[in-house]
């Protein structure tokens, strides 16, 4: 089970693990951080699924397999991150190639992501 994210130090460990998982494009490891009933919102999801929201861990896994399953590794760079312990929200600013994004993740008491949303820019 995921570590309970209750403070900045735990959030920092999560960011390191999350980034390492994405660099290896280990989709199963990334999805292991999500609650079964999690929802993810992304403009890329809209392009690939005709809906901006992907609901449920297994659907998120299938979406990421479709979007990223064809690559073996990714040079993901964490630009910055912040943790808001009042609302249990992690925001990560990252870059992959020319794509830059901010992504927030809301956590439940068990340390699982229950909601995330990505915003892309240049």
The Cβ-side half-sphere exposure at 93, using a 13 Å CA radius, reads 6
Give the DSSP letter string of the chain. Answer: -PPP--SHHHHHHHHHHHHHHHHTT-HHHHHTTEEEEEEEE-HHHHHHHSSSEEESHHHHHHHHHHHHTT-S---EEEEEEEEETTTTEEEEEEEETTEEEEEEEEE-TTS-EEEEEEEEE-
The reported pLDDT for the residue numbered 122 is 64
**Domain map (residue ranges) of the chain:** 8-121
Mean pLDDT by 10 residues, the chain (122 residues): 79 96 95 96 89 96 91 92 94 93 94 94 72
Q: Has this prediction a pTM greater than 0.85? A: yes
CATH number belonging to domain 8-121: 3.10.450.50
């Amino acid at each position: 089970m995921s570590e309970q994210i209750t403070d900045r130090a735990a959030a920092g460990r999560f960011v390191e693990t999350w980034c390492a998982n994405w660099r290896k494009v280990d989709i199963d490891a990334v999805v292991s951080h999500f609650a079964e009933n999690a929802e993810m919102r992304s403009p890329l999801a809209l392009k690939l699924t005709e809906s901006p929201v992907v609901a449920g861990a297994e659907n998120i896994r299938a979406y990421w397999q479709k979007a990223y399953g064809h690559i073996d590794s990714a040079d993901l760079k964490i630009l910055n991150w912040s943790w808001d312990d009042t609302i249990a929200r992690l925001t990560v600013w990252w870059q992959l190639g020319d794509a830059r994004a901010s992504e927030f993740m809301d956590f439940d008491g068990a340390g699982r992501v229950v909601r995330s949303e990505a915003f892309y820019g240049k």
